[in-house]
Amino acid sequence: MSEFFSYTSNLNPDILQLLLFVDNRHSSQKNIEQIKEYLNGLNQDYNFHLQVLEISEYPHLVEHFKLVVTPALVKVNPPPQQTLAGTNLTAKLKKYWYKWQTSLRENRDVFHDSSEQDSLLQTCLPSFELIRLRDEIFHLKQEVDNLKQQVQFKDQMLAMLAHDLRSPLTAASIAVETIELVQNKKEIKPNHSLYQKLFQQAKNQFLIMNKMINDLLAASKDICSQLTVAPVRVNLVNITEEIVNNLQNKLSEKRQYIIKEIPQDLPSVYADPKLIRQVIINLLENAIKYSPENVPITLSIIHKTTQKVQVSVMDLGPGIPTAKKQKIFEGHFRLKRDRNEEGYGIGLSLCRQIINAHYGQIWVDNNGNQGSCFRFTLPVYR
């Protein structure tokens, strides 16, 4: 918001020049109206120029004038600069108005040469165009920093993907080489059972690689179209502690409790803290909902490999049918038992999108003889 209010069309050293800094609170609008009402009631012979500025749009001006509270009224001409701040600005303005007008007349008498006047004005009143350019430069620098972080994040993910692909690729290569070796040795009789096992092993490894590549493509699609991921160094110990504390009321309602299995020397992960918090909250709230009363819910985090951390949420609920373990991560899919109530569905779909966007994996296992265990992985911060 930038609003002008004046009795003269020319900005020059012969007029009283004021800047009113406000925020977006309702009381700010009230201050603006009160000051305008006072100025409207003045003799028309007074020349002044009032500009109303929203502080969020002019952070550099706020810094330039060293403002600490709003609303604040700054007199930039005639010099010296003076700031009125706090409540009841209108009363303070009334107190200083005639002093300022007197100072303006004295200032006009002192500076006869227009070049001197222009120089004074340039000194007292910062260039709004310069401020605007500074703001643009600041935002561009932020964008560059964000892009650098995204590039760093993707570089790390590509390195991790290459590492993960090496294992199934090596296993598939060994299976194929073994088949080739057996076929080339005439003294070895063909063993169809062995061939079948080796072919199946190679096929399974290729399927694993195919899933990794599909997950990577899904992650790229999520980043480009749906999710804005801002990865930083994240301490999962602190985040989970905060989440568990916030869920105490829901746990108390069903007399449940959370068992945390989290090592204190857990490495930091490279992730968007807001999005990962959303995933953990969703999984824990589902566990609370589907677990019976008076039972524990386990939250476990392990440093699985040098490049990955694995988070697990285990409950003692009804579990997920094997045939539906992939389906539940699809958008709007609901188990038959849940179709008339809130629960699994778009929440898990969003969780998968978030984890995919972090180049991780999310899945569900059986928790022994009862319940489910939802797991996901995140990259270690390097």
- Contact by Cβ (8 Å): 288, 250: yes
Residue 59 lies in a domain: yes
- Contact by Cβ (8 Å): 74, 82: yes
Same-domain status, 246 and 328: yes
- The residue out of 179, 195, 225 marking a domain boundary is 225
Residue 75 lies in a domain: yes
Same-domain status, 237 and 316: yes
Provide the 3-class DSSP secondary structure of residue 49. strand
Same-domain status, 111 and 142: no
- The residue out of 126, 147, 170 marking a domain boundary is 126
E strand map for the chain: 2-6, 16-22, 48-54, 72-77, 82-85, 232-234, 257-261, 269-271, 296-302, 308-314, 362-366, 372-379
Residue 369 lies in a domain: yes
Same-domain status, 143 and 22: no
Give the CA distances from residue 255 to residues 260, 291, 324, in Å, rounded to whole numbers and listed in that order: 17, 11, 29
Collect all residues with Cβ–Cβ distance below 8 Å to 90 and sequence separation of at least 6. Answer: 31, 34, 35, 38
pLDDT in tens, 33-83: 888 888 777 755 667 888 888 888 777 778 778 888 888 889 888 888 889
Same-domain status, 216 and 239: no
Same-domain status, 179 and 281: no
User: How is residue 306 written in tokens?
Assistant: 């040098």
Residue 40 lies in a domain: yes
Mind listing the pLDDT tens digit of every residue in the chain (382 residues)?
Answer: 555 444 443 445 567 888 888 887 777 777 778 888 887 777 556 678 888 888 887 777 787 788 888 888 898 888 888 898 877 888 888 888 888 888 887 776 655 444 444 444 444 445 556 666 776 787 788 788 777 777 776 676 677 667 667 778 888 888 888 888 777 776 666 677 888 888 888 888 888 788 777 766 665 555 445 567 888 999 999 999 999 998 998 899 999 999 999 998 899 999 999 999 989 999 999 999 989 999 999 999 999 877 889 999 999 988 888 888 888 887 655 555 554 444 444 578 888 888 988 888 899 988 767 889 999 999 998 8
Same-domain status, 201 and 243: no
Same-domain status, 243 and 371: yes
Same-domain status, 61 and 107: yes
User: How is residue 205 written in tokens?
Assistant: 């490894």
Same-domain status, 221 and 120: no
Residue span of the structural domain in which 166 resides = 136-225
CA distance 267 to 270: 10
Same-domain status, 140 and 265: no
Same-domain status, 366 and 240: yes
Residue 131 lies in a domain: no
Q: Which CATH number fits the domain that encloses residue 58?
A: 3.40.30.10
- The residue out of 190, 225, 260 marking a domain boundary is 225
Residue 24 lies in a domain: yes
